[in-house]
Structure formats: C-alpha cells, structure tokens
Amino acid sequence: MIYPKNSIILAPLSGFTDMPYRNSAWRHGCTFAFTEMVDASSLAYGSERTEIMLRRSPADSWLGVQLVGCHADRIDKALDILNRHNFDVLDFNLGCPAPKVARKGAGAVLGQDCDKAAQLMELIARKSKFPVTAKIRIQDENDPTPTITLVKKLVDAGAQAITIHGRIRRHFYAGSVHYHVIAAVRETCNIQIIGNGNVTSHLSCNEMREKSGCDTVMVARGAMGNPWLFQELSSPENYRPPAVNELLEELQCHVLEMVVFYGEELAMKVSRKIILDYLKGRGFNGTLKAQVSFLKTVDDFNNFMQLVAEAKPGQRYWSWLKKYPDAERRLQP
C-alpha cells in the first residue's frame, strides 16, 4: 500500500498547496501532502513558476507531486524534470473539472477516455522513478461499471493506488458525494482506494469511511483556512478547536511565510484568498473582510490583523455556535 491504514491526505490544490500552505498543515498534524497540481506543458517548456512549485522544504517529511496533461511528448519531458527532484509519489490527475484544464482535454476530460488515460498512465509508470498513483472522478452517479473499468485499466497500466472523488465531472464540487460508487470500486478492484469529496469535519470523514469503505481519505477544500482539520480527523475525541488568538497567530505565520517565499508584492496578492479562508465562517463581519482586497504590503497586513484582533467574532456567532456545537471551522471562546 502507498498509504498506511487510516491516513489523512492533503490533496494537491492548484493555487494553494505551496510550501507555506503545507507548513501550516504540518504544524497541525498533516502527515501526507502534495504540491500544487503541475501542468506537464508548463513544466516541459521551462515555466519558472512551475519549477518553484516543485520546491521541497525540510518540513516536507512526505511529499507527493501531481501531474496534469494529455500530450505524451510533453508528459515525457515533464517526467525528465520531475525525476531530478525528490518526491514520495507521483499522482496523475484525471479528475480536475476546471475549464482551463478541460479545454486542453486533460484532467476529468481525459478521465472519460479510458484507453488514452491508460496509455499515458503506462508512460508515467514506466518512466517515473517514483511510485505512481492516479486521482479520478466517478464516471456515472448510478452505475459503478464505467468507474470500475477506468480503475482496472489504470491499475493494469501501473497505478499503485487510486483516489476517487465521488462526484461526476459536471458537478464540480457541488451536490452529493456518491459513496456507493466508490464502495463498488473498492470491493471490485484489488488496489488501495482513497475516498475524496466533501470531507470537511470528523462527521463527514466518518460518513466517507462508513459508506465508501475507504479507511484512507483525502481532504481538499475542507482544509482551506482550517489546518486544524487534520487534528480533528486524526483524534476527534481529543480535538480542541482553536481559540481566536490561535487562529490569528496561525494566519499571521502563514502569510509571513508566504512573504519570505514569494516576496512581498506577490505574496500579498496571493495571500488575499488565504486570509479570507481563515476568516470564513468564523463570525468576522463582512465589512472587515472586504478590506482584504486592498492589502498590498506587510504593513497593511499587520494593521489589518490588529483590526481583526480588536473586532473578534460577534456575539451572534457565539450564540449560533451553542446551537451547532459540531459546526465545521468552529472556534472556542
């Protein structure tokens, strides 16, 4: 098996899982994480931004890389570059539904072409110096057969584990996760299956495990602005949500690490979505959050953090939390 039983894995998230993001996750119990999704064409043609995405920090005790693409020659060149780096696994993306990926015929679009997906998987498995896996979406909400067919072909081509997102391509990240399809694949295919989709709390994680039969799960959007999720999922009985000051300390640490990694100007642009993720759903008022769009310097950020510390979540939030003590992304007073 690629992953030990009951593992919690941080998904490769385009535009998010850079080195500072992973460092934040490591601080809160993450054990397995990926770089951002890497485009084979960008890597093959020498994109500096893509090369930066491959950097590994001393904190990355285990690090996977995920490749997306649909052209064999570019994937081949990208593998030459990836093989010069140090990763624990290489994952082939056959599940991304983003329009910019779909227009190229990659990601979830390629996942709908079993034969071509398998051909490229065979190329990757043959050339990669790392163990290879794949991440897919279910192919049909009711009939598990097309998904089983895809998984079997990928396994025959050399995949050593498969992560399955339980929604079809056109539903992106909305709607129900079809656990029964993942369960049918797990029961039929002799390979490690990782469940993915809507794992945002210990309750939804338990649902994934019980209904799909997958003890190993991958989290994605649920970890955005919420690195404490790894502690919650690993030890729900001992989990203590962060206090407001702990939330703000982690946010400040995360953003300042981004400044070191990217430089001040770029970091402040990239970090705006990160800041909003930390504040989302935690009782901070909209007027305050609207100011994030205007942050341009570290001084701006520090001044903003002072305002956040003074404002704190409103009383309405704490009253709501008493009614919903198991709410996702919750804080403690």
Whether 51 and 148 share a structural domain: yes
What is the per-residue pLDDT for 173?
Answer: 78
Structure tokens at 234: 């690993």
What is the per-residue pLDDT for 60?
Answer: 94
The residue from 214, 234, 254 where one domain ends is 234
Task: Confirm whether 203 is domain-assigned.
Answer: yes
What is the per-residue pLDDT for 159?
Answer: 98
CA 64 to CA 71: how far, in whole Å? 21
What is the per-residue pLDDT for 79?
Answer: 97
Helix axis angle, 244-262 to 298-311, nearest 10°: 170
Residues of the chain with pLDDT under 50: none
CA 71 to CA 253: how far, in whole Å? 39
Report which DSSP code applies to 232: H
User: Residue 170 belongs to a domain with what CATH number?
Assistant: 3.20.20.70
Question: How does pLDDT run across 153-171, given as a tens digit for each residue?
Answer: 999 999 999 999 999 877 7
Whether 52 and 169 share a structural domain: yes
Whether 74 and 212 share a structural domain: yes
What is the per-residue pLDDT for 183?
Answer: 97
Task: Confirm whether 1 is domain-assigned.
Answer: no
CA 242 to CA 142: how far, in whole Å? 40
Give the structural domain span for 180: 8-234
Whether 84 and 212 share a structural domain: yes
pTM of the model: 0.94
Whether 283 and 143 share a structural domain: no
Length of the chain: 333
CA 76 to CA 54: how far, in whole Å? 17
Structure tokens at 230: 């790894």
CA 330 to CA 266: how far, in whole Å? 30
What contacts 65, CB < 8 A, 6 or more positions away?
A: 12, 34, 35, 38, 54, 82, 85, 87, 89, 90, 91, 130
What is the per-residue pLDDT for 21?
Answer: 98
Whether 106 and 38 share a structural domain: yes
Cα-only R_g, the chain = 20
Question: How does pLDDT run across 75-103, given as a tens digit for each residue?
Answer: 999 999 999 999 999 999 999 988 898 89
Dihedral over alpha carbons 289, 290, 296, 302 (to 10 degrees): -30
Whether 269 and 172 share a structural domain: no
Whether 277 and 301 share a structural domain: yes
